[in-house]
Chains A and B, each alone.
Chain A
Amino acid sequence: MAQIVAGFTIPHIPLLAAKPEAPPADVRQKIWNAFDHVIDRLKQLQVDTIITIGDDHCWMFSPECVPQCLIAIGDVSGPREKWLGIEHVDLPVHEDLAMHILRAGQSMGMPWAFSKHMLADHATVIPYHFCYRHLQDAKIIPVYLNETIDPVISSALACRVGAALADAVSTWPGTERVAIVGTGGISHWVGMADMGETNEEFDRRILSLVASGDIDGLVKISDEDIVREGGNGALEVKSWICAMAALGSARGRLIAYEPVAEWITGIGFMELERAA
Chain B
Amino acid sequence: MSTNAMEVVLFRLANQPEDVARFRADPDTYLAEHKLDSSEVGALRAMDIEGMAAIPVNWMLMMGAYQALHGRPKQPEYLQRIRSHATRRPVSRKEEV
A and B are interacting partners? yes
Residues of A that sit less than 8 Å from B by CB: 57-59, 62-64, 83, 148-150, 189-197, 199, 232, 261-262, 264
Nearest chain A residue, comparing its CB with the CB of B59: A191
CA distance A192 to B60 in the complex (A): 8
Instruction: State the Cβ distance, A162 to closest chain B Cβ, in Å.
Output: 24
14 inter-chain pairs at a CB distance below 8 angstroms, sorted by A residue, are A58-B15, A58-B58, A63-B4, A63-B7, A63-B11, A64-B8, A83-B72, A149-B58, A190-B60, A191-B64, A192-B82, A194-B88, A196-B79, A262-B97
CA distance A199 to B92 in the complex (A): 11
Instruction: State the Cβ distance, A128 to closest chain B Cβ, in Å.
Output: 21
DSSP class of A's interface residues: helix, strand, loop or mixed?
loop
CA distance A64 to B94 in the complex (A): 38
Instruction: State the Cβ distance, B17 to closest chain A Cβ, in Å.
Output: 11
B 59-97 contacts with A by CB, 8 A: 59-64, 72, 78-79, 82-83, 85-89, 91, 93-97
Q: Are A58 and B14 in contact (CB under 8 A)?
A: yes
Residues of B that sit less than 8 Å from A by CB: 4, 7-8, 11-12, 14-15, 58-64, 72, 78-79, 82-83, 85-89, 91, 93-97
CA distance A52 to B75 in the complex (A): 30
Query: Which residue of the partner chain, among B11, B89, B97, contacts A62 with CB atoms under 8 Å?
Result: B11
Query: Which residue of the partner chain, among A83, A195, A232, contacts B97 with CB atoms under 8 Å?
Result: A195
CA distance A62 to B4 in the complex (A): 11
Nearest chain A residue, comparing its CB with the CB of B89: A194
Instruction: State the Cβ distance, B5 to closest chain A Cβ, in Å.
Output: 9
Query: Which residue of the partner chain, among B15, B72, B86, B94, contacts A193 with CB atoms under 8 Å?
Result: B86
Q: Are A58 and B72 in contact (CB under 8 A)?
A: no
CA distance A59 to B85 in the complex (A): 26
